[in-house]
A and B are shown apart, each in its own frame.
Chain A
Amino acid sequence: MLRDPVAMQTHFVAPAIFDADLIARHDVAGPRYTSYPTAPHLDARFGESDYARIARSSNEDPIPRRLSIYVHVPFCTSPCFYCGCTRIITRDRAKADGYLQRLYREIELTAPLFDRDRTVIQLHFGGGTPNFLDIAQMRDLVESLDQHFSLSRHAEREFGIEIDPRFADAAYVSALADLGFNRISVGIQDFDPAVQAAVNRHQGIAETAEVLEAARASAFRSTSVDLIYGLPCQTISGFTRTLDEVIALRPDRVAAYSYAHLPETFKAQRQLDASQLPDAATKLALLGLCVEKLTLAGYRYVGMDHFALPDDELVLAQQQASLQRNFQGYSTHAECDLLGLGMSAISKIGNSYSQNAKDLIGYFGALDYGRLPLQRGLHLSNDDLIRRDAIGQLMCHGLLELRPFEARHGIDFHNYFATEWQRLGDLETDGLVVRDADSIRVTARGRFLLRLVAMVFDAYLSRPDDAPVRYSRTI
């Protein structure tokens, strides 16, 4: 699959238009396409030997892809009631030691599958709460990774970590910089005390600012904050203040996620008082407020919940049409093979996805028997690869150029996607996309409904024998 960078174009140069009526009319639950096929379609028949075979064959390219490593730290000291992540609530710091022991074993088992000249250009610690680990534990973990893999020493490396500022101070952040971290992502959600009480997350502006300032002072290259709209007790006036406070902190990136209330799926959410959730109109207004205030403050809408300052790498990558979708949202480095380490972590190696056991028993059990803790996975079919490319182009650049796409995959687009082309016609009538003989473009209004456009190409959504899978909505 040769791609011609000159021929690749991006369409998302003009700003997105927030059209509340259009969004309200079209809002449906759907995947966020951080992968395709999406995680629920991974298969339990995929095992350790599949992973090992695919990993070894990934060494065989003329220039093997560089590596991106994700490390999952599942522990949190206190439960946030909105959380849909795989995490374990504990105040027992010693729990981390047992987990780290298994993580080291997983590193020892995984690393030999990958040739040593494949440098790790990207490292991301997510959770849970990565800063559940103290600095000594962090140092040991990074050293173990460095010993078994070839961590890049190059300035372009992206070593990121998610931080809960309630449990980190300036000294901790500067120690992380010494370990090589250069990107930080800080959870905020909402500064409104009423909302914080309702979701059980009390977090001051000062402690948040301390972490972000320490990050800048210790030469972190990029700072990012997470917000959530649609939380209980959220109001326009409260969220306006939160956005003003966030803008004053001036992070390089802002992610504003839609709260998906799925208490049957996420146990933590059962503790939320559903009667306090904002109605659909308010939730939509909260998103509109995000767009308006962040845009006025100079942020660009990248797509799917993500905003960034114009000089941020995400915006530059989008302008150069090199933006990629990954599990953290968007990325500039998707030509890597992604190794997920830790409980529930997802890997993307070659044309495969695979996921580790989602509980400690399964994760510890496999590793204690000297096996990789894989629980399920998927070897992408040719059809999966074709559709993943289409979805990726639309999610990242809002543009699918049909002739290069046909050349990449050896297909006739109209023949292959006859049904999809018709369904796109409906979206075109509604103003979400425009089509011509050579391209499909997402309109400025359609950018907030990207997942709807992507869903047209999702072959797994229309299978009647599928177990029902629950997805979030924009509103």
Chain B
Amino acid sequence: MIVNRAAFSMPTPYAEASALTTAHPPTGKPAPNNPIADDGDALHFCATCTFGQVCMPNGYDKSALRALHCLVEHIGPFPSGHHVFRSHDPFTAIYSVRAGMVKTSVVDDLGREQILGFFLPGEIIGLNAIYTERYPCNAIALDTIALCRFSFPAMVTLATRLPGLQEQLFRLMSKDIVKATLLAGDFSADERVAAFLLDLADRYAARGFSATRFRLSMPRADIANYLRLAAETVSRVLRRLQDQALLRIEGREVHLLQVDAMRHLARCVLHR
């Protein structure tokens, strides 16, 4: 059942800058600045899917999972603002983002939202519900999203059946924890903003998308909330980085121009 994945081309949402002027994106398709992981089908995982990357080497494609009562289905598109799940909902599934961006957040008793993270195509949400059996946060679409839904009546059971899955789940969850603490230190606004952009860039790059041009689908208030900064401060820092020609921002699009200089700026956050 296992086919050669090499035949699938990786999605390249942005051509490199030099190629940009010669690319001929097909008519009618969304603009090339919209990463989508959509090369999967009824049997095969999308190339960018973290979950698929664990199952496939172990000989489990989608039909094998179905035999284990694990239903894998593509759902969406859903509009911006759509709740994938809400805090305290019973855990029924984890989701892999196929297109768009999802944020997770918790709301305190005073109604204040605290953003936990942003999830890109190929990344998985809902992992933090596996052992509590209830979602501990909200997951909300930041633009038009499409998802892959893995419904597991007994995720833990499956993990024991699948060599490597449990390990991968732990790895994914510990990554989440690292991400959550990444910005907890006593860092300057410049360091935080630079680290935030580089983190996104690295995650896009890891899935074959452009690491230098991407879209910030979240409102600046969400970036500010996540980084524990004022919205004006986020913009002021970005404007300064733009004036220094480290990056360029147009609308919601970011173009990183001097990645090394950015990395130097963010080194204390990134190299802990």
* Residues on B with beta carbons closer than 8 Å to the beta carbon of A64: 220, 235
A3 partner, pick from B21, B250, B252, beta carbons under 8 A: B250
Complex Cα–Cα for A2 and B213 (A): 9
User: Is residue B111 within 8 Å, beta carbon to beta carbon, of the partner chain?
Assistant: no
* Residues on A with beta carbons closer than 8 Å to the beta carbon of B221: 59-60
Complex Cα–Cα for A368 and B243 (A): 44
**Would A406 and B25 count as touching, CB distance under 8 A?**
yes
**Would A62 and B27 count as touching, CB distance under 8 A?**
no
User: Is residue A407 within 8 Å, beta carbon to beta carbon, of the partner chain?
Assistant: yes
> Known contacts being A62-B223, A410-B29, A415-B27, is A1 close to B235, with CB within 8 Å?
no
* Residues on B with beta carbons closer than 8 Å to the beta carbon of A4: 17, 20
Complex Cα–Cα for A448 and B220 (A): 43
User: Is residue A7 within 8 Å, beta carbon to beta carbon, of the partner chain?
Assistant: yes
User: Is residue A403 within 8 Å, beta carbon to beta carbon, of the partner chain?
Assistant: yes
> Known contacts being A117-B232, A407-B32, A409-B31, is A63 close to B239, with CB within 8 Å?
yes
> Known contacts being A2-B248, A407-B21, is A62 close to B235, with CB within 8 Å?
yes
Kindly supply a per-residue 1/0 record for chain A positions 152-166, scoring 1 wherever the CB is within 8 Å of any chain B CB and 0 otherwise. Answer: 000000000000000
**Would B25 and A62 count as touching, CB distance under 8 A?**
no
Within 8 A of A (CB), among B15-56: 15, 17, 20-27, 29-33
**Would A404 and B21 count as touching, CB distance under 8 A?**
yes
**Would B253 and A412 count as touching, CB distance under 8 A?**
no
User: Is residue A264 within 8 Å, beta carbon to beta carbon, of the partner chain?
Assistant: no
* Residues on A with beta carbons closer than 8 Å to the beta carbon of B253: 1-2
**Would B32 and A410 count as touching, CB distance under 8 A?**
yes
User: Is residue A411 within 8 Å, beta carbon to beta carbon, of the partner chain?
Assistant: yes
User: Is residue B185 within 8 Å, beta carbon to beta carbon, of the partner chain?
Assistant: no
User: Within the complex, what minimum Cβ distance (angstroms) separates A248 from chain B?
Assistant: 42
Closest residue of chain B to A64 (Cβ to Cβ) is B235
B249 partner, pick from A62, A403, A412, A415, beta carbons under 8 A: A62
Complex Cα–Cα for A86 and B21 (A): 45
* Residues on B with beta carbons closer than 8 Å to the beta carbon of A115: 231-232
Within 8 A of A (CB), among B219-259: 219-221, 223, 231-232, 234-236, 238-239, 242, 248-255
* Residues on A with beta carbons closer than 8 Å to the beta carbon of B30: 410
User: Is residue A471 within 8 Å, beta carbon to beta carbon, of the partner chain?
Assistant: no
User: Is residue B172 within 8 Å, beta carbon to beta carbon, of the partner chain?
Assistant: no
Within 8 A of B (CB), among A40-91: 57, 59-64
User: Within the complex, what minimum Cβ distance (angstroms) separates B213 from chain A?
Assistant: 7
* Residues on A with beta carbons closer than 8 Å to the beta carbon of B216: 62
**Would A61 and B21 count as touching, CB distance under 8 A?**
no
Interface bracket on B: 35 or more
**Would B220 and A60 count as touching, CB distance under 8 A?**
yes
Closest residue of chain A to B31 (Cβ to Cβ) is A410
Within 8 A of B (CB), among A111-146: 115, 117
User: Within the complex, what minimum Cβ distance (angstroms) separates A86 from chain B?
Assistant: 32
User: Is residue A416 within 8 Å, beta carbon to beta carbon, of the partner chain?
Assistant: yes
**Would B31 and A62 count as touching, CB distance under 8 A?**
no
> Known contacts being A1-B250, A60-B219, is A416 close to B255, with CB within 8 Å?
no
> Known contacts being A2-B255, A60-B219, A60-B220, is A407 close to B23, with CB within 8 Å?
yes
User: Within the complex, what minimum Cβ distance (angstroms) separates B101 from chain A?
Assistant: 13
User: Within the complex, what minimum Cβ distance (angstroms) separates B235 from chain A?
Assistant: 5
* Residues on A with beta carbons closer than 8 Å to the beta carbon of B235: 62-64, 117
* Residues on B with beta carbons closer than 8 Å to the beta carbon of A62: 216, 220, 223, 234-235, 238, 249, 252, 254
Complex Cα–Cα for A61 and B221 (A): 9
Complex Cα–Cα for A416 and B26 (A): 10
Complex Cα–Cα for A60 and B222 (A): 9
* Residues on B with beta carbons closer than 8 Å to the beta carbon of A409: 31
Closest residue of chain B to A402 (Cβ to Cβ) is B21
Complex Cα–Cα for A403 and B15 (A): 13
Closest residue of chain B to A57 (Cβ to Cβ) is B219
User: Within the complex, what minimum Cβ distance (angstroms) separates B179 from chain A?
Assistant: 20
**Would A61 and B32 count as touching, CB distance under 8 A?**
no
Kindly supply a per-residue 1/0 record for chain B positions 179-216, scoring 1 wherever the CB is within 8 Å of any chain A CB and 0 otherwise. Answer: 00000000000000000000000000000000001001
* Residues on B with beta carbons closer than 8 Å to the beta carbon of A411: 25, 27
* Residues on A with beta carbons closer than 8 Å to the beta carbon of B31: 409-410
Complex Cα–Cα for A7 and B248 (A): 15
* Residues on A with beta carbons closer than 8 Å to the beta carbon of B213: 2
> Known contacts being A63-B238, A64-B235, is A403 close to B251, with CB within 8 Å?
no
**Would A2 and B21 count as touching, CB distance under 8 A?**
no
Within 8 A of B (CB), among A366-415: 403-404, 406-407, 409-412, 415
**Would B24 and A7 count as touching, CB distance under 8 A?**
no
Complex Cα–Cα for A36 and B30 (A): 22
**Would B23 and A61 count as touching, CB distance under 8 A?**
no
Closest residue of chain A to B20 (Cβ to Cβ) is A407
Complex Cα–Cα for A411 and B32 (A): 9
**Would B248 and A410 count as touching, CB distance under 8 A?**
no
* Residues on A with beta carbons closer than 8 Å to the beta carbon of B21: 7, 403-404, 407
* Residues on A with beta carbons closer than 8 Å to the beta carbon of B236: 117
The chain A residues found within 8 Å of chain B, CB to CB, are 1-4, 7, 57, 59-64, 115, 117, 403-404, 406-407, 409-412, 415-416
Given A2-B33, A117-B236, A406-B24, 9 other A-B residues pairs in contact with their CB atoms under 8 A: A2-B213, A3-B250, A59-B221, A60-B220, A62-B252, A63-B249, A409-B31, A410-B31, A412-B27
26 A/B residue pairs, CB under 8 Å, sorted by A: A1-B251, A1-B253, A2-B213, A2-B248, A2-B253, A4-B17, A4-B20, A60-B219, A60-B220, A60-B221, A61-B249, A61-B251, A62-B223, A62-B252, A63-B220, A63-B242, A117-B236, A406-B24, A407-B32, A409-B31, A410-B25, A410-B32, A410-B33, A412-B24, A412-B27, A415-B27
The chain B residues found within 8 Å of chain A, CB to CB, are 15, 17, 20-27, 29-33, 213, 216, 219-221, 223, 231-232, 234-236, 238-239, 242, 248-255
The 8 nearest A-B residue pairs measured at CB: A410-B31, A60-B219, A117-B232, A403-B21, A415-B27, A412-B27, A410-B25, A407-B20
